[in-house]
Structure 1
Amino acid sequence: MAQPPVHPHFVCKLHKSLYGLKQAPRAWNERFTTFLPSLGFHTTYSDSSLFVKHVGSEIVILLLYVDDIILTGNAIAAIQHVIQSLTTEFDIKDLGTLHYFLGIQISRISTRLFLSQTKYIQDLLHKTEMSDCKPCDTPCLPYNRLLKNDGVLFLEPGTYRSIVGALQYLTFTRPDIAFSVHQVSQFMQQPMVSHYTAVKRILRYLKGTLSYGITYAAGEVGLKAFSDADWASNPNDRRSTTGLVVFLGSNPISWSSKKQQTVSRSSTEAEYRAMSSTTAELDWIQQILTFLKIQMSCAPVLFCDNLSAIALSFNLVQHQKTKHIEVDVHFVRERVAKKQLLVQFVSFREQFADILTKGLSAPLFRTHCSNLMLGISSNHEFEGR
C-alpha cells in the first residue's frame, strides 16, 4: 500500500481492514464471529473457534481458523443454506469436500478418514536439504536424554528454531515424534551441535515414514485415556515428563508430551500429576462433546501403570507425604468419588502413552505406533488392550 501521488503527505483513514495488516486477522475474526449468531450458531468457552447450529435433530458444525473454514454436519440442505448465507455476506469460495486444511491432508477411504502431512514433510526436508538423507527406525535413541551444555554451540540458532517450530506443527498428526520434538524444543535459546544432531535424526525418521498418518474410523462412542510419567527423567533439572493420549472409541483425538512444572519427590507423585493433567484434558473434551450433544454411555476410563497412584485416587485418607500435591489429589479423587471417572491399571507393555515419555527400542516403538493408529493408509488393528 502506498500514499496517493497527488497528496503524498495525507493520512489515509481505513474504513475496512486491509489483508496483511497486523490488525486484519483480529478485525476479520470479530466481523465473522459477530455475523454467525444471526445464522443460529452458538459458541462455547471450551473452544472459541468452534460454532454449532442445532435445528431439531439436525446439526451444522463450523470450525474457524483465521480465514479458513471447515463446515460439516448431518444435513446437506442445512449446510448448503449456511454456505449460501456466508457467500451473500462475505467473499468466500467453496472448495468442496475437505481434502486439505492448514497443511493437513485428509483422504476418505470408505467410512474412514486418513490424516497425514506428507507434503508438509517433503517441503520441510527440501528446506533443510535432507531430502536424500538416510532414514532411521526411530526419531530418537532409546532412553537417551539431551544435556543442556553438551559440547559445542550451534552457530545457526535461527535455523534450529525454524526447524523445531516446523516439527512442532507436524505433531498434529504425528504423535510418534511428540516426545522427540518435546526434547529438542527445550534448547531453543542456546542450541548445541548435539541438539541439532537430534533434530536431524527426527528428520531422518520422517524421511522413512513420509506416508504415515492417523486413520479415523466410525465406531462406538466412548472416552478412554492413557496416562504415564517418566520420573525425574530430565537430567538438567530432574523434572518428570508427562505423556497422555485420549481415545474416542478406537481413535486417538488428543495427545501430549510435556515436562512437569515442578520436581516430583517420588514416581507415585509424578504419575499422579500426570493423571491430574489427563483428567483435565478429559474434562475439556467432555465439555466439547456435550456442546455437540454427544452423550457418553459411561464414565471415561483412565489407564495408569502405577498401582500406588491408582490407590491414591481411591484412598480417602490424606497422608503426610501427599500433602504438597493436595490440589491434584482432590481434583482426581473428586471425580472418582462421583463416578465421573474410572481409574484402572494397565501393564507397562500396554501403556500407549509410553511413547510420549521416553525414547523406545524399535520393536516397542512400532507396536505403540500401531496402537495409536499410525501408519500408511490401510486397515489397522490394536495391539494389546
Structure 2
Amino acid sequence: MSLKRSTGSASTEDFSDPQLYRKIAGSLQYLSITRPDIAFTTNYICQRMHKPSVDDFQTLKRLLRYVQGTTDLGIPIDPGDLQLRAFADADWAADSSDRRSITEFCTFLGNTIISWSAKKQVTVAKSSTEAEYRSISSATSEVIWLRRLLAELRIPQIGPTPLHCDNTSAIALANNPIFHARTKHIEIDYHFISDHIKAGDLNIIHISSAHQIADILTKSLPKERFLHLRNKLNIRSKDD
C-alpha cells in the first residue's frame, strides 16, 4: 500500500474517536499476519494509536479501501525446491519525529514467503550503513531460527542461506574484521553476524535496489513499483 508522508498541509487535528482508530488498527495488524503487502502501512498506522490525528485516520481509511479491493489476494503455497532465502533492507532515519530507521526483512522457502517484519529500530542509526547492518542482524536471527526449525522438520538446508542486501558497505562490514572509530559501536552485531558467516549458515549477497523485494516493507512506493514487488512476494489471487 503506497503511503504518503504527512506534509505541512496535512491536518494535525486530533481525531474525535481514537478508540475507533485503535480498534481498526488492531484488526489491520492481525490481517497483516497473512498480508505482507500491508505490513509497512499497518506499522505506520499503529505508531499513531496513542494520539491519532485526522490525517492518520485518512491514511487508515485509504488502507481499508485497498484491502476491500483486494480481498481475493493471498499467499499460495507453491511446490518446488525448499531452499531458504532472505532479503533485508532498511529505511535510514525514516521517521522525522525521532529519526529512527525502519528494519525490514522477508524470508522465502522456495517461492513461498514464510516470514516478514517491518518495525522501527530501537536506537538511532548514525549512517545508512549502520541502519542496513542492523537490518541484516535482525534478518540473521530469523534465518538461524528458521534453519533450526527446518532441521527439526527434516528439511535440512544444504549450504549457507543467501541473504540479499542492497548496501555494499554493510556487506563489506559483515565480511571485514577491522573496526574503525565510526563503526566500533556496532561491534556486537558484527560478531553475531560474522560467527554465522564463518559457520557456513549465512552468505550475504549484494542485490540491486531495483530487485530488492524487502523494499515493499520499507517505505511508501509509487503504484507501479508497489504492484511489481507485490508480485515478487508471490501474493496473488486464488484463481491465478
Question: TM-score over 0.5 for the alignment?
Answer: yes
RCO higher in structure (CA 8 A, sep ≥6): 2
| Contact 1:146/1:183, CA 8 A, preserved across alignment | no
- Identify unmatched segments of 5+ residues in structure 1: 1-138, 380-385
- Partners of 1:160 and 1:146 lie apart in 2 by 21
1:140 aligns with 2
- Partners of 1:220 and 1:146 lie apart in 2 by 46
1:337 to partner: Cα distance: 2.0
| Contact 2:105/2:214, CA 8 A, preserved across alignment | yes
Superposed CA deviations along residues 165-185 of structure 1, whole A, max 9, x for unmatched, are: 000010111101000000010
State whether structure 2 residue 97 is matched by structure 1 residue 224.
no
State whether structure 2 residue 124 is matched by structure 1 residue 254.
no
Closer, same or farther in 2 for the Cα pair 1:145/1:175, shift >3 Å? farther
State whether structure 2 residue 44 is matched by structure 1 residue 188.
no
Matched ranges for 1:15-30 at <5 A = none
1:145 to partner: Cα distance: 5.0
Larger radius of gyration: 1
Matched ranges for 1:16-165 at <5 A = 139-142=1-4, 144=5, 151-165=12-26
Determine helix, strand or coil for the equivalent of 2:94: coil
1:339 to partner: Cα distance: 2.0
2:76 aligns with 215
State whether structure 2 residue 123 is matched by structure 1 residue 277.
no
1:338 to partner: Cα distance: 2.2
Regions of 4+ moved over 6 Å: none
1:266 to partner: Cα distance: 0.2
| Contact 1:222/1:298, CA 8 A, preserved across alignment | no
Superposed CA deviations along residues 9-29 of structure 1, whole A, max 9, x for unmatched, are: xxxxxxxxxxxxxxxxxxxxx
1:291 to 124, 134, 152: 152
| Contact 2:147/2:156, CA 8 A, preserved across alignment | no
| Contact 1:230/1:242, CA 8 A, preserved across alignment | yes
1:211 to partner: Cα distance: 0.6
State whether structure 2 residue 231 is matched by structure 1 residue 373.
no
- Partners of 2:35 and 2:67 lie apart in 1 by 10
- Partners of 1:276 and 1:158 lie apart in 2 by 36
* Amino acid across the alignment from 2:175: F
1:130 aligns with none
1:173 aligns with 34
> Which structure shows the bigger proportion of residues in strand conformation?
1
1:268 to 129, 133, 147: 129
- Identify unmatched segments of 5+ residues in structure 2: none
1:259 to partner: Cα distance: 0.6
State whether structure 2 residue 174 is matched by structure 1 residue 313.
yes
Superposed CA deviations along residues 65-123 of structure 1, whole A, max 9, x for unmatched, are: xxxxxxxxxxxxxxxxxxxxxxxxxxxxxxxxxxxxxxxxxxxxxxxxxxxxxxxxxxx
TM-score of the two chains, using structure 1 as the length reference: 0.60
Superposed CA deviations along residues 39-71 of structure 1, whole A, max 9, x for unmatched, are: xxxxxxxxxxxxxxxxxxxxxxxxxxxxxxxxx
- Partners of 1:223 and 1:351 lie apart in 2 by 16
- Partners of 1:286 and 1:179 lie apart in 2 by 26
Q: Give the number of aligned pairs.
A: 239
> Which structure shows the bigger proportion of residues in helix conformation?
2
User: What root-mean-square deviation, in Å, do the aligned CA atoms of Structure 1 and Structure 2 show?
Assistant: 1.5
2:96 aligns with 235
- Partners of 2:87 and 2:53 lie apart in 1 by 33
Superposed CA deviations along residues 128-155 of structure 1, whole A, max 9, x for unmatched, are: xxxxxxxxxxx3335x2589x9511011
Closer, same or farther in 2 for the Cα pair 1:350/1:314, shift >3 Å? same
Closer, same or farther in 2 for the Cα pair 1:254/1:145, shift >3 Å? farther
| Contact 2:144/2:201, CA 8 A, preserved across alignment | no
TM-score of the two chains, using structure 2 as the length reference: 0.96
